[in-house]
A and B are shown apart, each in its own frame.
Chain A
């Protein structure tokens, strides 16, 4: 079935950096894409980034492009999110999410089929 555990969250000052990790287990890591999704206090969910297992296909939300970097370790089955130049608006719970891709007839569907419990990032002076 699978299991995801995020770590690395904490309190950081504006302009600072933080590196989140996601430990995965119970599934074949290289069969999936992996994503980061966040939820700011009182707000809805926001997709942040996704990566293929080898890192050949990566995409970012405009709100983090140029500041955040997603990467994977296919040996240890880990996913990382390096967050630089952090802003107050980056304050959120960050979730790691396994991302499945499947053809439904002529429709290519993407969906987050396994999530971690999240790690809280607070950006404040």
Chain B
């Protein structure tokens, strides 16, 4: 199975800060990498698919980059509604696997 490792596990940020989350795969997954946002009690939301494609309706402050084993999710100016848990997921091969999540909290 492909292991996905996110860093950091959590971070504190102020509104307006630039936030960067990284995701590393245990083997090359080309660009088969997706990012999700999740808040407790709500439906998870797709942000980025195929490493860098912005899902329709997602604000342009979100962006994704990377290929192979190393990927990054960036929020250029974090907003109050962005405080949540972010997870990466590889769809290169089954079993599709997720990172452990990065919790973004208000400083």
Contact = CB atoms under 8 A, between A and B. Distances in A.
User: Bound pair: A and B?
Assistant: yes
Interface stretch (A13-21, A44-52, A68-76, A81-89): A44-52
A11 interface: no
B98 interface: yes
A116 B45 CA distance: 10
Interface residues of B, number: 27
B44 A95 contact: yes
B100 A44 contact: yes
B interface majority secondary structure: loop
Contacts of B41: 117
Nearest to B45: A115
B19 interface: no
B60 interface: no
B98 A44 contact: yes
Contact of A111 (B30, B87, B91, B97): B91
Contacts of A118: 43
A47 B30 contact: no
Contacts of B32: 107, 109-110
A117 B40 CA distance: 9
A104 B50 contact: yes
A116 to B, nearest CB: 6
A110 B87 contact: no
A46 B94 contact: no
Given A44-B87, A45-B44, A117-B42, A107 B50 contact: yes
B98 A47 contact: yes
A111 B94 contact: no
A39 B49 CA distance: 21
Closest 5 CB pairs of A and B: A110-B91, A111-B49, A115-B43, A45-B98, A47-B96
17 contacts: A46-B98, A47-B94, A47-B98, A62-B95, A95-B43, A97-B44, A100-B49, A102-B50, A107-B30, A107-B32, A109-B49, A110-B96, A111-B50, A112-B44, A113-B46, A113-B55, A114-B46
